[in-house]
Structure 1
């Protein structure tokens, strides 16, 4: 821990307190009901959006918070992905200001130049499907065409592109985007090893990347009706479920053969995986997927500190547990919170995130 560069070393008392608590033991916070953790996490996301407003990026959401840099710059990708999260939360919690925040996020995306950002595309889709914004779909199509022309280098990039392109292509009825989605899906499936694992550019693969690939595979398989994608998703899901401990803990990275390759827990990956398990329970009607989701959510709850005077740290979800471990040490990612909120709502009220949208058959 102490060999880390000084820029990443926690030197403030509040940061040292977090480190000392993790040294004494992890996942020891009080576990409360879903609604309490849901509201707390959403309040932190509101603060992340306010932090970007204060820095001049009104409407956007900060990518996260770090012990060294403080609030990070605004992220179009995180902003886009959070729209589909805040809108159902506004309805479920009777919290209309969350819808106002989601609308501000959408306006911020629309003010930007169209680019090949999967997260931004999903935000524009949510603006069309959930807010009925007239311009959103056309802008999503423009960004999707830019994405289709982008060269992908990793499994995660192919997975994100396949999902975003399939979503826009299905919604707008555009065969060229559906073909581009199938192309990226094919490139992704070609990388999968027999056990279901996917390689990255080097070394062990983070749980966050593997869970992200799984999430995108599930939705792409549904949108395209692709049986090979379903089989690939099933291999990933079964492999990761088999590595989860009874208390919900999961290694932060894996090598081929689902060999644990990191002693820490990747909280964002675990939260996203919980959502994947709940989505599989919805799609397959197999209640067996709910148990690992519940175990994962319980472990994350015990890692969330919901008390304290520091509003940047209170209710935040650390990217790694213990806090000093892994490539995202001493940080709190906005997408960690997004995927935790998604999974909590999916379990509480059975909603679908991302929302299922009506397909348009290509002409």
Structure 2
């Protein structure tokens, strides 16, 4: 865990002196070296640093989280959205990216008491609602101009924002998306409309994003049908896991493996879903799969001890030339590894559970 957190800190430090200082480098690639700061993933790294500050007794990590938040707030556009991609000139806002930044802003409000972060999250939430279609789906301001079930992870942020701000309209919009996403499930529990491109099998990275949004949204809304949609997919992935913890990097309909490599990023995310399902007491055999995949991830984390660009990091895929984030160490892979390790060795939930609030106004 410490090595993963140290790598995230170095990824932030690599941007010192640059226009995007304060953010966290998107990662390191064999082709381009250290990449620019990535607003989307820097946003949800905030919650990782704050949890690690408590678990590892490293208060300096809290200051790092604050630097990310200050940088993110400076990026917000007049309409409430945040720039997509690396935030370079001309980059257009994307629903998913803005949602992940909102998770960081909510961490700033909930854990650091920053009202400016909640105000920014509310502005972003209103932008998201304005881009939503009547059926709850987002078809505008989305990656590759197609709908994605994995936007449930943005809907989760929208729901959290609605609860924190007491705005039932935001809650309603979030639930509309979550129920649309659930409607995309096939009888096997696999979701249509969940890949980056139509006609492709979704990476387990996408699948795990969709799972977490439905799971946490269902918990907050007391909607067991949403939790069960996530749990159905989680059980299918338990069945697909090998004895050594390896999981195929993509799955086609009916959970047919569609990759010969493993998406390490997605494995870490799946572990997080299994951990939450176990914590919640949802029916399923979660403990052994968690341990198998944690061991698999630990064996594939780069632990060199020399501060090299990959020291402490997790690659996108195994082998590293696998199709997901090929030849790269993306910061979100290491972030999700750190989250899983934090939850495995402590009573922390990443992000922490908010105080329950009444949804009656948004019913």
Tell me if the contact between 2:231 and 2:277 (Cα under 8 Å) persists in the aligned partners: no
Tell me if the contact between 1:170 and 1:223 (Cα under 8 Å) persists in the aligned partners: no
Aligned mate of 1:121, from 81, 102, 116: 102
Deviations 1:280-305 (A, max 9, x none): 11111768312211111110111112
Task: Give 1:335 shift.
Answer: 0.7
Q: Is residue 2:332 matched to residue 1:335? A: yes
2:312 match: secondary structure: coil
Tell me if the contact between 1:60 and 1:75 (Cα under 8 Å) persists in the aligned partners: yes
Aligned mate of 1:322, from 319, 324, 343: 319
Gaps of 5+ in 2: 82-94, 132-137, 140-145
Separation in 1, partners of 2:270, 2:218: 17
**CA distance 1:286–1:350, shift in 2 (3 Å):** farther
Q: Is residue 2:156 matched to residue 1:163? A: yes
Tell me if the contact between 2:263 and 2:322 (Cα under 8 Å) persists in the aligned partners: no
Task: Give 1:354 shift.
Answer: 1.6
Separation in 1, partners of 2:158, 2:221: 10
2:329 match: secondary structure: strand
Give 2:298's aligned residue: 301
Q: Is residue 2:38 matched to residue 1:75? A: yes
Give 1:98's aligned residue: 61
Deviations 1:213-265 (A, max 9, x none): 11111111011111221121111111111100111000000011111110001
TM-score between the two structures when normalised by the length of structure 2: 0.86
Tell me if the contact between 2:315 and 2:330 (Cα under 8 Å) persists in the aligned partners: yes
Deviations 1:107-149 (A, max 9, x none): 1122221315011100110000011112111111111111122
Tell me if the contact between 1:214 and 1:276 (Cα under 8 Å) persists in the aligned partners: yes
Q: Post-superposition, which runs of at least 4 consecutive aligned residues in structure 1 deviate over 4 A?
A: none
Tell me if the contact between 1:148 and 1:161 (Cα under 8 Å) persists in the aligned partners: no
Tell me if the contact between 1:155 and 1:191 (Cα under 8 Å) persists in the aligned partners: no
Give 2:213's aligned residue: 216
Deviations 1:28-65 (A, max 9, x none): xxxxxxxxxx0001111011111222432121011111
Give 1:283's aligned residue: 280
Pairs aligned (count)? 326
Task: Give 1:90 shift.
Answer: 0.7
Deviations 1:317-359 (A, max 9, x none): 1101001121421011111111111111111012111211124
Give 1:313's aligned residue: 310
Give 2:126's aligned residue: 145
Task: Give 1:77 shift.
Answer: 0.9
Tell me if the contact between 1:319 and 1:328 (Cα under 8 Å) persists in the aligned partners: yes
**CA distance 1:91–1:327, shift in 2 (3 Å):** closer
Q: Is residue 2:332 matched to residue 1:344? A: no
RMSD: 1.6
TM-score between the two structures when normalised by the length of structure 1: 0.86
